[in-house]
Structure 1
Amino acid sequence: MPAVNVPSTPNLQALGQRETLRERVRDALRAAIISGELEPGVVYSAPTLGARFGVSPTPVREAMLDLTKEGLVVAQPNKGFRITEVSEQDLDNLAAVRLLIEPPTVRDCVPVIPEEDFPSLRELAQAIVDAVERDDLVGYVRADHVFHLTLLGYSNNRHLVDVVSDLRTQTRLLGLSPLLQSGQLGHSAAEHHELMDLVEARDGTAAEELMRRHIGHVRGLWASGAEES
């Protein structure tokens, strides 16, 4: 399949400060793949993606090589990089594992999150809402990733956080664009403030239940554009 042009240009500055340009480009590419802005099965060339991000092809190639190790892309000699496809069964399995890990971990984290950390967590939740308001799917995916992994970090279990990070990376949220266009994604973004309300109320049980619904959305409405049965 030939390389294709990419229609829009995300704001790398809005994605936050990172150590290197390669990392900034890699994070943006990963989020674009998860959100479906870079389409499964399509081959993209490094020069085309470089033009999108306003950088030379070199950091794009370096970032894409990193993403091949994550299984998100496959190198196509003399063409570029093909975005890998994820089956419905794979998405079911990813959601099932996340349901086993994330809701009970959030429940256990709620009592130990220091009150002085509430404002910074609120800011992370607001970043998700802000991304929706500026129609930035890539920014939405990255802000959502940061918020949830930060919350899970209060478990003091680095291995658990790394596993969840990998599971989230392998997920595809191809239903996000229709949700954004219909205005429904804003309701989902606001759920993160609802979760923070429960955290501040020290209601771990309710926070656990909200996380179960949240992951259900990921597998249903967000992943495919049609709510789960």
Structure 2
Amino acid sequence: MGGHLKQAHLITAQERLRDQVAHALRAALISGELQPGRVYSAPALASDFGISATPVREAMLDLVREGLVEPVRNKGFRVTEVSEKDLDQYSELRALIEVPTVAAVTRTATREQLEALRPIAEEIVTSARDHDLIGYLDADRRFHLSLLALHGNDRLVETVGDLRKRSRLYGLTALDEQGLLVASAEEHVELLDRMLEGDESAAEAVMRRHLGHVRKLWAAEG
């Protein structure tokens, strides 16, 4: 019995490590440390992390399923190159989903539910001002997905989460250096204010403008 419990604990710890590595790899993809088109081996990355290759290989397989990397036989994993056409299509899909959903949530969400998102919106702005790109992306993801979750459709949230992963925010570092990231961050607070006012059309307009700015972020490195 004790042996089984110990084994379960080890599996949980291993899964946690896999998730931590996957998160670190996504951060490296976003920051440009791992570059599109380049092949990286699990043992080499594991050496950078100071851990064994197994959790790195497992984390890479998670990223394969998300479309972020692709396996290269006997070599490792190639970071997927995302074309301008891909980014346009991801952007169009996000707008088709998120703009009307924001209007629907404006109609149905309580003031308390919306106000609960304000600390996350403010965290996005703080991260942008502090040049904390990983913190920015994490808070940005939580804000958008939490807002969409208020609509009550889990599959919708999953779909947008997947689109976000596939369309990594290219050019984020350049935008931060140009001082343009804070303006994009502040749009989250503006969106929340329009929703709290119950103004569906204004909320839709802010979301459409925000997603347009996000698309420009992606293009900035092209």
What is the correspondence of 1:62-73 to structure 2 with a 5 Å cutoff?
A: 62-73=58-69
Which structure dedicates a bigger proportion of its chain to helix? 2
What is the correspondence of 1:12-161 to structure 2 with a 5 Å cutoff?
A: 20-50=16-46, 55-161=51-157
Deviation of the 1:200 alpha carbon: 1.8
Matched residue of 2:117: which SS? helix
Deviation of the 1:166 alpha carbon: 1.5
Cα 1:46/1:129, change in 2 over 3 Å: farther
Equivalent AA in structure 2 for residue 223 of structure 1: W
Equivalent AA in structure 1 for residue 203 of structure 2: A
Over 6 Å off, 4+ runs? none
Deviation of the 1:112 alpha carbon: 2.0
Q: Does 1:178 align with 2:212?
A: no
Matching residue of 1:5: none
For the residues of structure 2 that align with 1:130 and 1:55, how far apart are their CA atoms?
A: 32
For the residues of structure 1 that align with 2:39 and 2:133, how far apart are their CA atoms?
A: 20
Cα 1:39/1:139, change in 2 over 3 Å: farther
Deviation of the 1:130 alpha carbon: 2.8
Give per-residue Cα distances to partners, 1:181-212, cap 9 Å, x unaligned: 11110111111111111122122211111111
Matching residue of 2:220: 225
Give per-residue Cα distances to partners, 1:159-191, cap 9 Å, x unaligned: 211111111111132121111011110111111
Matched residue of 1:186: which SS? helix
Give per-residue Cα distances to partners, 1:61-116, cap 9 Å, x unaligned: 21111111122112234543211001111111111111111101011101222222
For the residues of structure 1 that align with 2:134 and 2:46, how far apart are their CA atoms?
A: 16
Larger radius of gyration: 2
Count the aligned residue pairs: 208
Cα 1:83/1:140, change in 2 over 3 Å: same
Cα 1:51/1:117, change in 2 over 3 Å: farther
For the residues of structure 2 that align with 1:191 and 1:162, how far apart are their CA atoms?
A: 23
Cα 1:65/1:113, change in 2 over 3 Å: same
Equivalent AA in structure 1 for residue 125 of structure 2: V
TM-score by length of 1: 0.80
Cα 1:69/1:108, change in 2 over 3 Å: same
Identical aligned residues as a percent: 53
Extract unaligned runs of 5+ from structure 1.
Answer: 1-18
What is the Cα-based RMSD across aligned positions, in Å?
Answer: 2.3
Matched residue of 2:195: which SS? helix
